[in-house]
Each structure stands twice: as C-alpha cells, then as structure tokens.
Structure 1
C-alpha cells in the first residue's frame, strides 16, 4: 500500500477490517477484565468460609466488601483523568500490578480491619484498570463493531467472576479461603509483566500527542503495513487537553444531562449487581442450600452475564441502543419478581439466576458501551471512568444495603422484591439518555466537531 501524505486516524481505524491487531487488543483487554472480575467478586465467594473460619457475624463482612468497592470507585475516578493525561497503556499496567500485589498480601490478613484496608487498596487498582481497558478496546474498534467490542471485553469480568465461583468450590475445601486471594494476586502480577511487551497505546490518544508521532506510525503500519511513512501527517478532529479540563467538559451544558443519565443508570445497575455479587451465595445458603450449591448458584449469574454481554453488544450495534437497554432492564425486573415469588428448587433457581445474570450484567456493560461510543477521545477515558466511579458508589450501597437487610432478617423473597426498585430507576435513566441523545446538541461539544463522537 502506498503511504498517504495525510492520514485521519479516526477514518483509518473505522475503515480497517477486524484483523489480527484488533484481535490482539480484544484478547488483552478481555484478559484484564477476567482478572478484574475474579478479584472483585472474590470476597463474595470466600465470605461463607471466612465467616466460619474467623467465627464472626456475617454482617461484619459488609465493611470489607464496602471498602473494596469504595476503592473501586476512587480508582475509577483517578484512573480516567490519569489515562487522558499519560495514556491508557501506562495506567492499565500500573493498576494491574498494584491490585495483584495487594490481593496477594490480603491472603495473610490477620483480622477484619487489615483485610478491609487491603481490599480498599486492591480496589484502587481494579477501579483504574477496568474502564481504561474498555476505553482502549473501543478506540481500536472499527465503528460497526465498537459496542460489541466493549461488551465482549466486559465478558471478561463475568468470566473471571464465574471462574471465581467454580475455583472457590474446588479450592476452598482443600486449601482454605486464602488460596483464592493468592491466585488473584500472582496471576495479575505475571500478566502485568507480559503487558509491558505486548500492549500498545491507543492510536487515537497518540494522534493528539505530536511527540508520539513515531510510535503512532509503527502502530498504523502494524494494523495495515505500508500505510504511513516519515512524511505522513496524522490528523484528528480532536484536541489535546492533556487531561486538563476533561471533567469540566463532560459536565459542560452540551454533555451534562447525558452524563448525569449515565451516572444514575450505572449507579442503580451496579447497586443491583453488587448486592447479588456480594450476598447471593449467603442468601442462597440461608434458604436451605449447601455451601457448594450456593457457590454454583453464584457462579450462574456470572455465566449468564457472559452470554448476555455478547448479545447486548451485537444488539446495540444494530438496533437503537437505548431501546435495547430498556428492554433488557425490564427483563431483569421480571426475573427478580419471579425469584421473589417462586420456589423452583436448585436447578430452577440456577436457571432463573442465569437469566437474571444475562439481563443485569449485560445491562451493566451496556452503560460502558454507551459512554465509550458517546464521548470523544479528549474526554473518553474521563467520561467512561467517572461514570464507572460514580456507579461504584452504587455498588458500595448495594453491598451495604445487603448487609443491613440480612441483619434485619429479610427473607429470600423480600430481598429480590427490593431489587426491582433500582432496576426500574436504571430503565428510566436509559430512557432519558435516549431522549436527549437524539438531539444534535447532545452529540456536539463546544470544542469538538460532531464527527469526533463516533
């Protein structure tokens, strides 16, 4: 191919087929989320064994779970601006190394207080790595596969979380709850070292950094050999803010309502997801099932979410994404009502929980896909990460509310009835975003041409 004298990075990436380079990005970012999902949900799976080993009331674990989720929120709020300033690659690698080390140390926690602190620190790394991996994947995806690529990446989270359930079922009886934290520490440390050699920086990020022109040229030629040379001038409709003012941009008049809708939607979605991630095994065990059965039911919500993530990404690329989200959330509400009012036995419970995971976890990743495809490069990492960070406070609330309701002796049916409330509010937020996003002004920044939002 003859090198172009001028190359629009956005148009170049959109025009490329989904080739080996994109597959590499997808697999690397997917693996980041696998490791994240394993570590984030680990406490939910080791909770029954930890309660028995330390002889503590189950409500005390609410502090541990809430501290971990608080770390996730702070990590996400910090990770976005840092990635918009220093690059997605550096933040992802540093975050994975950090949460791997702190997870490993957590295995030797002597008490609840130390474990809570270490889970907070682990959460900082987890919170910074998740949205930036999704951002990096979206920035290399051709336009027609963008939502699908983001949601497939987030399949990694549910795969890792489901793997945690099966691994907990196999390892804890023989090696204790500490073994899960050791696995959740050693594997990320090794993977972070590998990423230093194989993970590229975002081409769109480098396009607004003139000092990284040579690196960008190598990336372009890796995607399509011979597309650029030393004379090629790379152009982009976006500006380099170096991470400065990105928070103000996502809250500017042209973006504010959609930003708030994204925040509310993910907040309520994560409240539901982490209520279930944190307490479902204990809720199931309290309903008369064995610890092994409880772990399997907990894993089913993640398995369902893995399939749901793929389906919702495909749907959002082909149909109105807001209608897809609303229908998915309505499905989740119907399933919580069914769980609250039926007594289906173990296999029926696993089937209903699988279907609930299909809906609620896929909707969770749908919010990330909508944010990553809405915000332009100059604020994409910040917009996606801040949405994730605000949403994490919903996760904290979900874990905390679960502890309170269990302490009040709420039964299985009433706990699932409660979940219809946050799911309904999330559906309303998706509807509001859909109304606003249809207007031209919703997709236009005062400083960025409309085309930059694709």
Structure 2
C-alpha cells in the first residue's frame, strides 16, 4: 500500500523550472492577445473605407468606435467574476469564440446602428478574454517569472494591433472592408477550438474547488509526470469563497486600499495613453509636421511600449513592484515636461516619443502584473478584470479630454503639461496602495485555509 504524501500546490507551481508546459501557456495567451489586439483596432483601420462606402461624415461613425470601447469595459467587469465562479479556461475559450462570431457577423451590418450594436457585443468578448488570459498565465508562472510572463503576453496586443494595420491595408484594397471583419472573426473561432484542446484550467483554481481532484491530478501531471497519484493529499493556503461574491471581496478589508489604488492607477495610466493614441498625430500636425511624419512619430510610441512591456516585467520580478512602477511613471512625467518645454526635429521627437511610450505603455501592463500577483486565487480573475474594466473608462476619458482641450486651442506644450496630472496621480496610487500590496502579499499567501 502506497504511503500518503502531501503536495503543496502553491509551492509546487511557484518553484518549477520554466519548461514546455509554461511555453505552451505563454504562447496560447500571447495568441489570445494578438487576436484581441487585431480586433480592438480593426475599426480604426476600416473606418475610412466605411465612410467612403456608406457616404458618411466622420461624426456619424463615432457611435461605432465608442460602443466598442464600452463593450470592452463591460466585458472586463463581467468576465472576471464569471472566471472566478466557473473557471478561467471556460471564460477565455468562450470569450474568444464569442468575439470571433460577433466580428464575423459585423461584416454583414447594413447600417451604423447595427454595426454599433455588433461592435459592442464584440467588445464584450474582447474585454473578457484579455485579463483572464493574463490571470491564468500568472497562476502557472514560476515565482521568479510571474510578472514577465504577464507582460510578455500583453505584448501580443501591440503585435496584433500593428499586424492588423498591414493586413487591413492588403485586405481592404483587394476584398473590401468587410474582409477585415471576416478574417477577424474566422481566425478566433478556429483558435477557440485549439484552446479547447490545449489550454488547461488553472491548477490554483482547481485546488480550491470541490470535486476537481481528478482534473487537478491531470494538469499537475502535465507539468511533472507522476507527481501525484490517488494517495496524494493536496494542500493549498487559499480557499474558495462561500457566501460572498468576489466583487465584494476585492473591495473589503484588507484589500480595499490596494483595489482602489489599482483602479485609480490604471484609470489614469490609460487616460494618458489613449489621449496620446487618439490625438498625438493631430497634435503633431498642428505643430508643423506633415501627416506622414506625424504617423511615423506616433508609431514609435507603440514600438517603445512593446519593448517596455518586456523590460518592466523583468524588473518587477527582481525588485519591489511599486518602486519599479513609481520610477517608470516618474520618468514618463519627466519626458512629458521635456516635450512640453523643448522643440525637437523629427528624429529627436521620434526618440522622445519612443521613450515616453516605453514608460507609459509598460506601466499599463505593470498594473495588470501587480494585480495578478496581489489577489488570492478566489478573487484574482475578478480583481484583475475589474481593474481592467475601470481602466477602460480612463481610456474613454483620455480620448474625450483630448477632444475638449484641442477644441479650446491649447498649444502643443500645454497639452503635454496636462498629461503630468494623470501621470502624477498614478505615481501617488502606486505609492499609497501598491506599496502596501508588496507588504501584504506574503501574509495573504501564507494565511491558513478556512
């Protein structure tokens, strides 16, 4: 008769070497974000073709773009609680399949009203897929690779957005704007089948669920064969919540302060990024650069952000996360002041915007990595997704703030000085709340099960 043995789930997952299993999770999550990024920005690429085809004014297409952003926010707010209740795997697969179907159906929209509804529905799936893919990856990541695994996955968004630009140019010229939505629908539907075959459920989620022993044994066996058998007792310091919803938990003590800090921090960070994403080309054109030069400068922000995503994850795995965030945001604030006060030729401006994008886009993913590391399993998907959903409203606010300030004829320098306000608030949020998360995390991880 085999002796009874114990397996500490948290310790086992956090001390494994990074192997083939982790590469599979990383590549699947990266692909989800690539598809997500392509579909999120698809409307921006096809908007001029729709305006020409339907004989619309620019303002008439506004509801389509706005409804997509609201769909992203609502999808994130609802996807997290669903993942904490039913599992990360089911929600990620379902969300990818759903936004694929909605994108495909969008191609046959007869008018702006129908397309607006379809883009809202597409946004629901997109918003639910993104943070839950990152959450699942974080729950399998070895401790010393957790932040960089999350931030590398988020590089998929910028890769999908950039690739979408090249692919859209090719497709629209040959097959019309509908073809972009068709491709953006069929590929996620097919990939949802791949996910159903290859994506495992989170072992940490299974460990706190009753009746999931066999599934947990199968998943752990993929990481290390024969690590568990019928005699193994699984031990976890975390627990399934009973009687309380995960939303209530993330705003209850001891999580209240950190939750609010994460919400405020990402809200302000996304306000900054979407202010620049939406209006930087127009700001540059008003500062005597050509449209092609403005587009080139704006592209450097995304290039810098992709590099920053990787580096900040590496830094957060090795140093205090809140200090990395504060330092990066402080440097971002410095770059905005320099851009506001000094004049640059094209190459100098490209360099400065590259560095600014490096700081602002990387801290966006840094907030996600911080949330995924802070919250216990019982509320991790909800905590990460709700932070993302709240942050999406910051993105909407940034786009609107730029429109208002430009209508008031603010100068190039005044617009960049304005950005020091949301960046400064993000720094304060990182200090007040996330410093506490660095201290509280070990206590939460070692808390006894209830």
Normalised to the residue count of structure 1, the TM-score between the two structures is: 0.89
Q: Which residue of 1 aligns with 2:224?
A: 224
Q: Which residue of 2 aligns with 1:354?
A: 354
TM-superposition CA deviations, 1:429-453 (whole Å, max 9, x none):
111124433555x7656xx74489x
TM-superposition CA deviations, 1:35-90 (whole Å, max 9, x none):
11222233344445555555555455443332211111111111111001110000
On the 8 A contact 2:272/2:423 being kept in 1, the answer is yes
Cα RMSD (Å): 2.8
- 1:16-35 to 2 correspondence within 5 Å? 16-35=16-35
Q: Using a 3 Å threshold, how does the CA distance of structure 1 residues 354 and 42 change in structure 2: closer, same or farther? A: farther
Separation in 1, partners of 2:53, 2:353: 28
Determine if the alignment matches structure 1 residue 418 to structure 2 residue 418. Answer: yes
Separation in 1, partners of 2:405, 2:178: 27
Q: Which residue of 1 aligns with 2:164?
A: 164
On the 8 A contact 1:67/1:116 being kept in 2, the answer is yes
Question: In terms of mean alpha carbon deviation, does 336-345 or 243-252 score higher?
Answer: 336-345
Q: CA deviation at 1:30?
A: 1.0
Q: Using a 3 Å threshold, how does the CA distance of structure 1 residues 259 and 408 change in structure 2: closer, same or farther? A: same
- Structure 2 counterpart SS, 1:234: strand
Separation in 1, partners of 2:167, 2:289: 19
Separation in 1, partners of 2:422, 2:175: 38
Determine if the alignment matches structure 1 residue 245 to structure 2 residue 245. Answer: yes
Q: Which residue of 2 aligns with 1:428?
A: 428
Q: Which residue of 2 aligns with 1:95?
A: 95
Question: In terms of mean alpha carbon deviation, does 279-288 or 91-100 score higher?
Answer: 279-288
On the 8 A contact 1:159/1:302 being kept in 2, the answer is no
Q: Which residue of 1 aligns with 2:67?
A: 67
- Structure 1 counterpart SS, 2:217: helix
Separation in 2, partners of 1:195, 1:16: 23
Question: In terms of mean alpha carbon deviation, does 20-29 or 427-436 score higher?
Answer: 427-436
Q: Using a 3 Å threshold, how does the CA distance of structure 1 residues 69 and 10 change in structure 2: closer, same or farther? A: same
Q: Which residue of 2 aligns with 1:181?
A: 181
- 1:138-287 to 2 correspondence within 5 Å? 138-172=138-172, 175-241=175-241, 244-281=244-281, 283-284=283-284
Q: CA deviation at 1:196?
A: 1.0
Question: In terms of mean alpha carbon deviation, does 330-339 or 407-416 score higher?
Answer: 407-416
Q: CA deviation at 1:23?
A: 0.7
- Structure 2 counterpart SS, 1:211: coil
On the 8 A contact 1:82/1:243 being kept in 2, the answer is no
Q: Using a 3 Å threshold, how does the CA distance of structure 1 residues 188 and 135 change in structure 2: closer, same or farther? A: same
Q: CA deviation at 1:344?
A: 3.7
Q: CA deviation at 1:282?
A: 5.1
Q: Using a 3 Å threshold, how does the CA distance of structure 1 residues 402 and 193 change in structure 2: closer, same or farther? A: farther
Separation in 1, partners of 2:153, 2:236: 26
In the alignment, structure 2 segments of 5+ residues that lack a partner are none
Q: Using a 3 Å threshold, how does the CA distance of structure 1 residues 15 and 85 change in structure 2: closer, same or farther? A: same
Separation in 1, partners of 2:169, 2:254: 49
Q: CA deviation at 1:286?
A: 6.1
On the 8 A contact 1:172/1:179 being kept in 2, the answer is yes
Q: Using a 3 Å threshold, how does the CA distance of structure 1 residues 110 and 427 change in structure 2: closer, same or farther? A: farther
Separation in 2, partners of 1:305, 1:275: 15
Q: CA deviation at 1:204?
A: 0.5
The alignment covers a number of residue pairs equal to: 448
Q: CA deviation at 1:101?
A: 1.8
Separation in 2, partners of 1:252, 1:355: 38
- Structure 1 counterpart SS, 2:211: helix
Q: Which residue of 2 aligns with 1:383?
A: 383
Q: Using a 3 Å threshold, how does the CA distance of structure 1 residues 142 and 26 change in structure 2: closer, same or farther? A: same
Q: Which residue of 1 aligns with 2:310?
A: 310
Q: Using a 3 Å threshold, how does the CA distance of structure 1 residues 224 and 164 change in structure 2: closer, same or farther? A: same
